[in-house]
Structure 1
Amino acid sequence: MPVHNVHERLLPMGPEQAGALLDSLSSPTADRLWPHGTWPPMAFDRPLSPGAKGGHGPVRYTVAAYVPGTWIRFTFTGPRGFHGFHEYAVLPVDEARTVLRHTLSMRVRGPARLTWPLAYRWMHDALVEDSLDLAERPARRAAWSPYVRLLRALAARVG
């Protein structure tokens, strides 16, 4: 089953500022893009660079490509059945505005044919919207749906 999922936000900042947000990803002390206060942190075995291995919570991936300040792509290594990538891209509009886009493109197989549409999709969408809210100034937090709140409560009991 193919999955193509895109979230984007027009940010009131130039591409250098948006690129700095991207470059802060997974920094233990300076991450300004990942909503680490409400979601499992994004962490890697080394600084952002091709080949770095890590992920967040049960979602695992490797940095496949990285152009500092512009684009980063992560290739999934887990959970089982996720075959594809997710990425952030900084897309300049003009000197004062930039689109920050998150794209997930994958094929789901095996157990992921159930876990993606029933759980991961909803959690993914909420997490990415929280990330884009964090990037936007002033920050605005999207309201989680009742289903996402239920999934988070169940995940907290399991984890």
Structure 2
Amino acid sequence: MRNTHERWWPVAPEKVGPLLDSLASEDDRLWPVDDWPPMTFDRPLGVGATGGHGSMTYTVVAYTPGRMVTFELTPGLGLRGHHRFVVEPQTRGGHAGTVVRHEASARVHGRMVWMWPLITRWVHDAVVEDALDRCHRELMGAPPERPARWSPWVRRLRVKRGLPAERSAPREA
């Protein structure tokens, strides 16, 4: 399984890096905590920190402040692999800016063989797109022109878990 999401903004990486560095902190400015379980760790973000979000657990195996964090998925989840956030400078159309990319790569086994395509992938995609929308609000001071939308399937899965089918009002940037 490979899954990638990214967004580009016309800002310097130095403006984006602090958002990455705030992951799982009291002042997390990247993770979409208004609508999804928070990302938490047993210590501040850094190599060796263990935790996760919801039922997904993982350990930080690489961290370059302001640029990249890689998480190794905990064995037993049905996914053997990692996911990461990357912040990198990128020029598009002659304009300097920064891309934030979330990459997941894993071998799927056990019950995740059917859970990934039917359930987990849809929720994963919604969470990551919400994180990128949050990043946009933090960087640009307003929501994106076309914010990510939850599919009817994601809304139904949320209700089954006792979560609201509709989004919370976003926090001020």
Tell me, yes or no, whether TM beats 0.5: yes
Q: Secondary structure at the match of 1:156?
A: coil
Q: Secondary structure at the match of 2:117?
A: helix
Which deviates further from its counterpart, 10-19 or 61-70? Answer: 10-19
- Equivalent residue letter for 1:89: V
The equivalent residue for 2:62 is 65
The CA deviation at 1:11 is 1.7
Q: Secondary structure at the match of 2:156?
A: helix
Q: TM-score, normalised to structure 2's length?
A: 0.85
Percent of aligned pairs with the same amino acid: 51
Whole-Å Cα distance in 2 between the matches of residues 86 and 117 of structure 1?
Answer: 17
- Equivalent residue letter for 2:151: S
Q: 2:156 aligns with which of 143, 147, 150?
A: 150
The equivalent residue for 1:43 is 40
The equivalent residue for 1:88 is 85
The CA deviation at 1:156 is 2.0
> 2:59 aligned with 1:55, yes or no?
no
The equivalent residue for 2:121 is 121
The CA deviation at 1:74 is 0.3
Q: Deviations over 1:64-93 (max 9, x none)?
A: 110000000000016621100000000102
Whole-Å Cα distance in 2 between the matches of residues 46 and 96 of structure 1?
Answer: 35
Structure 1 unmatched ranges of 5 or more: none
Q: CA RMSD in A?
A: 1.5
Q: 1:31 aligns with which of 28, 33, 55?
A: 28
Greater RCO structure (CA 8 Å; 6+ sep): 1
Is the 1:11–1:135 contact (alpha carbons within 8 Å) kept by the matching residues of 2?
Answer: no
Q: Deviations over 1:107-127 (max 9, x none)?
A: 110111011111110000000
